[in-house]
Amino acid sequence: MSADPMPSAKYARGARLPRSERRAQLMESALEVFVAQGYHAAAMDDIAVAAGVSKPVLYQHFPSKLDLYVALLDVGVETIIEGVRVALTSTDDNKLRVTATMAAFYEFVGSEEGAFRLVFESDLTAEPAVRDRVDKVTRECAAMIATVIHDDTGLPDEASHLLAVSLVGMGQVSARFWLNEDSAVPQADAARLVGALAWRGIGGYPKSE
């Protein structure tokens, strides 16, 4: 087992909390442990210590480590999907849409909590419940982008979807590279740079009448 993590200073050990607040606390502490150690190396003991609770309290809320991990994954997945949805509906200018979409991936990857590591760098993708949720990001983000491409260019659904998946891949892969390489390019500038590259490609398809 790894060295015991320090309990979160945000919550006093032994303090009684409403169930919803306790669940949020446990998930916050678990995210820190999973991001730092990965699923396989993390132990429920570590998470209980980090949260300042006993293991029975932790198991009252989450019957297993997988249940806890999936709950966190659901939050991360919905965060990035909602970020892309907001980006696509933020403007009718497609050039700005592309940049905003790239920025959504950079904001998610660049967040201090590190939730993106569960979504894009999970060490548990052999687990069907996890694989399905990880794939949901590409599936749903690409579906939203494909709708815009199809409506604006008149390209067939299959072609629109392929282009959309390519844009999703560009956003998440470049954002992860930017973060892991500790790039000197500021986050907003990196998103604009990649957005400009994406627009030079997708912008070449003429709008349908």
Which residues 6+ apart lie within 8 Å of 141 measured at CB? 80, 81, 84, 164, 168
Q: What is the mean predicted confidence (pLDDT) over 185-207?
A: 94
Q: CA 170 → CA 60, 62, 156, 187, 196, distances in Å?
A: 41, 35, 21, 15, 12
Would you say residue 65 has pLDDT above 50? yes
What is the reported pTM?
0.88
107-118 tens-digit pLDDT: 999 999 999 999
Would you say residue 156 has pLDDT above 70? yes
Neighbours of 66 (CB within 10 A): 14
Domain extents in the chain = 18-63, 69-202
What whole-number distance in Å separates Cα of residue 155 and Cα of residue 161? 10
Q: What is the mean predicted confidence (pLDDT) over 119-147?
A: 96
Would you say residue 199 has pLDDT above 80? yes
Q: Which two structure tokens, joined as six digits, stand for 142?
A: 């690409």
Q: How confident is the model at residue 18 (pLDDT cuts 50, 70, 90)?
A: confident
Instruction: Please state, rounded to an integer, the average pLDDT across all residues of the chain.
Output: 91
Q: How confident is the model at residue 20 (pLDDT cuts 50, 70, 90)?
A: confident
162-182 tens-digit pLDDT: 999 999 999 999 999 999 999
Pairwise pLDDT comparison (14 vs 93), residue with the higher score = 93
The pLDDT value recorded for residue 117 is 95
- pLDDT-wise least confident of 11-15, 81-85, 113-117: 11-15
Cβ(136)–Cβ(77) below 8 Å = yes
The pLDDT value recorded for residue 66 is 97
Secondary element (H or E) of residue 85: helix 65-89
Would you say residue 1 has pLDDT above 50? no
The pLDDT value recorded for residue 15 is 60
Q: What is the mean predicted confidence (pLDDT) over 17-40?
A: 92
Would you say residue 10 has pLDDT above 90? no
Q: Which CATH topology does 18-63 take?
A: Arc Repressor Mutant, subunit A (1.10.10)
Cβ(94)–Cβ(149) below 8 Å = no
CATH code of 69-202, in short, is: 1.10.357.10
Would you say residue 96 has pLDDT above 70? yes
